[in-house]
């Protein structure tokens, strides 16, 4: 199950349990604590009076009363004193104990605020990192959807200075889609596709001579099918060399000199007919991953993955495709190839696409860091 960052009022979250960043008395206070008590009604305070308070890092359960949530899990976060007084361990304990209670009560969904990041003064960037890492570790072994609820942009304001390099990267590339002709776009995407097909063919390693196809005769129509265009591109020797270099990360090693390669045209036909689902499952096998390792790393719900696996022609959303590309640690060319299978393409008219491209180019495949950046720029998150 995924970890999802949302901008919302936690008292309005329709989940099984919400987590209250409480004080040690559990009798209400300011910020999130006060908002939850007001929304739940007097019954919550009466039950909290029976609990005898709560120590820092621990968690206790009550009913949700007038809240949409069935339960409220109260946890007391640490006050920031510079980081030398066990604050991180106590904050991790808040998340662990709250998640353990949610699991014990059979909750399928739980929503957290950013604990201790308000009046308790915990640095927001560190508080967010701890929330993400602790929840992600829990989700490796448990099926539950965890929401990290941010009330407004100001409360999440880690500062775009942290993303200044991404800002520059976006500024250098963000442009009107019309600035690039559709023909140029198609050639670029299909060149990437043909190059990746060559890489996959080399990896297949089925012995056969590798003929260079002859160019087809010029056609009257200016727009070809992907298969026709890819075959044309494969006929150009310079592209074949580029594809070879892409496959080997540079010039072909001397140890490969004289080696026989697969029948590229036959393999290309197979790859062009491959659906998104088939490509996804093939890539999972090639990476030596299990299905669970892949969909959890992609921040994808298990039920959604089951639907994809059972339907050869499943049509995923673009964020879902990109999430799998990140989980599989694909290159940009491979990512474009996978997107094409689902009918999408990376575009410099999309800030979200540019942000994902930024992380892939730097081989940073941490989906939570990527989603954090997407959230900061008001873009749709991956996975989930």
DSSP, collapsed to helix, strand or coil, labels residue 189 as helix
Contact 199, 246 (CB under 8 A): yes
Q: What is the pLDDT of residue 20?
A: 97
How many Cβ atoms sit within 10 Å of the Cβ of residue 287?
Answer: 13
CA nearest neighbour of 8 among 155, 162, 157: 155
Q: What is the pLDDT of residue 74?
A: 97
Query: Which pLDDT tens digit goes with each residue over 327-376?
Result: 999 999 999 999 999 999 999 889 999 999 999 999 999 998 999 889 88
Average pLDDT over residues 106-127: 92
Please list, in sequence order, all residues whose beta carbon lies within 8 angstroms of the beta carbon of residue 344, skipping any fewer than 6 positions away.
Answer: 318, 321
Token pair of 374 as six digits: 């997407």
d(CA 340, CA 229): 14
In this structure, the dihedral spanned by the alpha carbons of residues 20, 23, 27 and 30, taken in order and rounded to 10 degrees, is: -80
DSSP, collapsed to helix, strand or coil, labels residue 50 as coil
Average pLDDT over residues 124-133: 90
The single residue listed with the structure tokens 């970890």 is: 3
Query: Which pLDDT tens digit goes with each residue over 83-97?
Result: 999 999 999 999 999
Average pLDDT over residues 18-36: 93
Token pair of 288 as six digits: 């030596």
Q: What is the pLDDT of residue 290?
A: 95
Query: Which pLDDT tens digit goes with each residue over 210-265?
Result: 444 444 544 444 444 555 555 554 444 444 444 445 444 455 555 555 555 454 44
Confidence of residue 154 (pLDDT cuts 50, 70, 90): low
In the chain the domains, ranked by start, together with CATH numbers, are 3-158 (3.40.220.10), 179-376 (no CATH)
Q: What is the pLDDT of residue 203?
A: 54
């Amino acid at each position: 199950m995924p970890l999802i960052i949302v901008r919302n009022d936690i008292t309005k979250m329709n989940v099984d349990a919400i987590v209250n960043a409480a004080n040690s008395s559990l009798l209400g206070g300011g910020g999130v604590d006060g908002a939850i008590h007001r929304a739940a009604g007097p019954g919550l305070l009466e039950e909290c009076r029976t609990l005898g308070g709560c120590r820092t890092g621990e968690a206790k359960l009550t009913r949700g009363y007038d809240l949409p949530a069935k339960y409220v899990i109260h946890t007391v976060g640490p006050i920031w004193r510079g980081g030398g007084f066990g604050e991180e361990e106590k904050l991790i304990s808040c998340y662990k104990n709250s998640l353990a209670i949610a699991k014990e009560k059979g909750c399928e969904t739980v929503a957290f605020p950013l604990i201790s990041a308000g009046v308790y003064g915990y640095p927001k960037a560190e508080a967010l990192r701890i929330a993400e890492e602790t929840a992600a570790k829990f989700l490796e072994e448990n099926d539950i959807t965890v929401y990290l609820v941010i009330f407004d942009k100001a409360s999440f304001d880690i500062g775009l200075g942290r993303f200044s390099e991404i800002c520059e990267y976006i500024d250098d590339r963000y442009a009107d889609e019309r600035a690039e002709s559709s023909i140029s776009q198609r050639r670029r995407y299909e060149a990437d596709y043909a190059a990746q097909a060559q890489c996959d063919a080399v990896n297949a390693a089925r012995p056969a001579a590798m003929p260079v196809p002859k160019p087809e005769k010029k056609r009257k129509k200016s727009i070809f099918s992907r298969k026709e265009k890819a075959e044309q591109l494969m006929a150009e020797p310079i592209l074949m060399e580029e594809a070879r270099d892409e496959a080997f990360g540079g010039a072909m090693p001397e140890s490969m000199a004289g080696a026989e390669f697969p029948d590229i045209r036959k393999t290309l036909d197979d790859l062009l007919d491959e659906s998104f689902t088939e490509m996804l499952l093939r890539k999972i096998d090639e990476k030596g991953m299990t299905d669970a390792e892949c969909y959890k790393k992609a921040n994808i719900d298990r039920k959604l993955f089951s639907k994809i696996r059972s339907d050869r022609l499943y049509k995923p959303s673009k964020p879902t495709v990109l999430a799998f590309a990140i989980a599989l640690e694909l290159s940009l060319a491979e990512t474009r190839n996978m997107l094409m299978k689902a009918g999408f393409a990376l575009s410099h008219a999309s800030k979200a696409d540019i942000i994902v491209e930024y992380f892939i180019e730097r081989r940073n495949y941490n989906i939570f860091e990527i989603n954090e950046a997407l959230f900061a720029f008001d873009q749709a998150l991956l996975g989930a």
